[in-house]
Amino acid sequence: MNFTTKINIPNHSNPIDYKSRIVSLGSCFAENMGDKFQYFKFQSTINPFGIIFNPVSIERIIDRVVNDILFTEEDIFFYNERWHSFEVHSDLNHSDATELLENLNQILRETKKQLEEATHIIITYGTSWVYRSIEKDTIVANCHKVPQKQFAKELLSVEISSGSIKNTIILIQSLNPNCNFIFTVSPVRHLKDGFVENQRSKSHLITTIHNLQSEYFPSYEIMMDELRDYRFYADDMVHPSQVAIDYIWEQFKESTISETAYPTMDAVESIQKGLQHRPFNPQSENHKKFEANLQSKIATLVAQYSFMKF
């Protein structure tokens, strides 16, 4: 795709390579980019507590991780025949309370180790709109389809968002003072809040991040200003299409991933395409040679990068 006008994206001061260890947190777009990291076999951890959209909830879960604040029975509740926590995504819900607590606390321990070892922390914020549990008087990460009357909706101010993001940075740096932070704002518009309300929400996040003078990747701006055509949206007309995700990834790659990693990325992609190949005749000599060549490529890469699994 060629564009007459493109957003100027400065190169990251500490680019990612195959020695890097990446932890990506935040909205569903974090998972889109996370899928790319995992496809290309970078050392990466993606949303260990599931999708979390707002700065306050991300700060709260990071506080738990860093300060070893384990989940207890007070932090979960039973609804619709499942046990939930307002602090994590519904993907982690469970039918058994004890198992849910064990799972959440195991993720806490694993995430702390991953943060300690990370070279790059990528955080993608989705919205400044939050829901506060009226009963607990706390902002939730996920409502778990609990009736809306049990929550009060509010818009985080720039000041509150700024405080949460600063605290998140300080908490992670207390474990890992040398890690690099990359912030981005999800290009997924939260149109259920309203068109104007979505713009207010995103503008609060963008202003906050720029005020902090942190490394910023403009995924939201690329979607809004470069990929304006409807072909760049999925069927719901809200989420980016695969074409858009691939384009934004290419911009991220050019600005944030070291050129020294490109040959390895090409080799990984060649293997991935080979693994997806479906032969007409699996017993043919040609296919056996293809399989042997593919296994040889995998062995060569794994010998160089032992963490790679295919």
Q: Which domain holds residue 60?
A: 21-257
228 part of a folded domain: yes
Residues 57 and 99 in one domain: yes
The encoded tokens of residue 167 equal: 């605290």
CATH number of the domain to which 188 belongs: 3.40.50
Residues 252 and 268 in one domain: no
16 part of a folded domain: no
Residues 238 and 278 in one domain: no
What angle, 0 to 180 degrees and rounded to 10, lies between the N-to-C axes of helices 242-256 and 28-39?
Answer: 70
Task: Specify the DSSP element, H or E, that contains 182.
Answer: strand 180-185
Mean pLDDT of 50-67: 98
Mean pLDDT of 106-129: 98
**68-77 contacts, C-beta under 8 A, 24 or more apart:** 68/108, 68/112, 70/105, 70/108, 71/101, 71/104, 71/105, 71/108, 72/101, 73/97, 73/101, 76/100, 76/101
Q: What is the pLDDT of residues 172-186, one digit of tens each?
A: 999 999 999 999 999
**Beta carbons within 10 angstroms of residue 294's beta carbon:** 17
12 part of a folded domain: no
- Residue 226 is predicted with a pLDDT of 92
Residues 105 and 93 in one domain: yes
Domain boundary pick from 233, 257, 281? 257
Residue 5 has pLDDT above 70, yes or no: no
Residues 96 and 230 in one domain: yes
Residues 90 and 224 in one domain: yes
Strand partners, 25: 123
Residues 216 and 103 in one domain: yes
Q: Is the pTM of this model over 0.85?
A: yes
Task: Specify the DSSP element, H or E, that contains 288.
Answer: helix 285-304
- Residue 2 is predicted with a pLDDT of 54
- Residue 17 is predicted with a pLDDT of 97
- Of the pLDDT bands very low, low, confident and very high (cuts 50, 70, 90), residue 117 is very high
Q: What is the pLDDT of residues 188-244, one digit of tens each?
A: 999 999 999 999 999 999 999 999 988 999 999 999 999 988 889 898 888 899 999
Mean pLDDT of 147-172: 97
The encoded tokens of residue 53 equal: 């959209």
The count of domains in the chain is 2
Mean pLDDT of 58-68: 98
Domain boundary pick from 240, 257, 274? 257
154 part of a folded domain: yes
Q: What is the pLDDT of residues 235-286, one digit of tens each?
A: 888 889 999 999 999 999 999 999 999 999 999 999 999 999 888 888 888 8
1 part of a folded domain: no
- Residue 3 is predicted with a pLDDT of 54
Q: What is the pLDDT of the chain when averaged over all its residues? A: 94
Residues 265 and 198 in one domain: no
